[in-house]
Amino acid sequence: MESQSVLATTCGELELRWGERTYVMGILNVTPDSFSGDGLADDVKAAVARAKQMASEGADIIDIGGESTRPAAQPVTAEEELRRVIPVIERLASELAVPMSIDTTKSEVALRALEAGARMLNDQWGLKGDPRLAELAAEWKVPIVLMSNQRDKGGYDAALKRDTAEYADPIAEVINSLRGSLAIASQCGVPGENIIIDPGIGFGKSWQHDLEVIRRLGELSELGKPVLLGPSGKSFIGKVLDLPVSERLPGTAAAVAIGIAHGADIVRVHDVKPIVRVCRMSDAVIRRRQIGN
């Protein structure tokens, strides 16, 4: 079950002790166009309340994003992204003990978020959009999540116009992509213990690719890093179960449990309370974690 060589990572006041249990990252979208319909743009009070709710339900980290990552979403400027996320981060930094992650692809947004109180970076382009994110992670000594994004096969700009990449072996493609991201991080001085990898469920993969990535998640162990898995409500669940986003929680729970069995260390989800229970049950079976720990 020990899928990575890193023993622990510090995120704010939280010590992530890899292999002991599965950590839950709660998704806080402060956008008007989230695919899941939970965007809270322009409502700081509601966003703060939602973050506090997720913390009370057992979230270990709150991941705050101000730009939608759904297919065909329109990019937003750094100024607009900052307008959405910074007031929320500033409020939560003084009112919430749970550490915050900033989900952004822009170094200028990441810097302001770190200054406001965020303690983790989450980059869906794996440093291939803005390598300066790695420099910030190194300078601030914070963890960074590097995601494999198959929308980037034609280059960053062309990728924005793509939905699904074409390739024969999705897990090999993911591993190759992540190796490139790890090389950038290393060159920029990010300590190995501060790097987390994400295979990027969706993001240019077909729904069949997503299923295979989860099925073969254990192969990411060769990279020696903790693994984040984000299957929450994604389209592959809708394809398999023929259900709208609002009814995909059981599919998300199944993907989380199977992902944990294959080496996931963090799961990124919208529905924190039920998924915390799924993680506890999965950990009891897979990690032999004792009840009450």
- As given in the structure block, the two tokens for residue 248 are 């995909």
SS3 string, 74-134, reads CCCCHHHHHHHHHHHHHHHHHHCCCCEEEECCCHHHHHHHHHHCCCEEEECCCCCCCCHHH
- Catalytic residue chosen out of the listed positions 50, 234, 273, 289: 234
CA distance 189 to 191: 6
Tell me the CA distances in angstroms from 106 to 20, 47, 154, one per residue in order. Answer: 32, 21, 20
Instruction: Respond yes or no: is residue 153 known to be catalytic.
Output: no
- Catalytic residue chosen out of the listed positions 112, 128, 162, 268: 268
- The secondary element (H helix, E strand) that includes residue 144 is strand 144-147
- As given in the structure block, the two tokens for residue 23 are 């950590």
Instruction: Respond yes or no: is residue 179 known to be catalytic.
Output: no
Q: Where in the sequence numbering do the catalytic residues fall? A: 234, 268
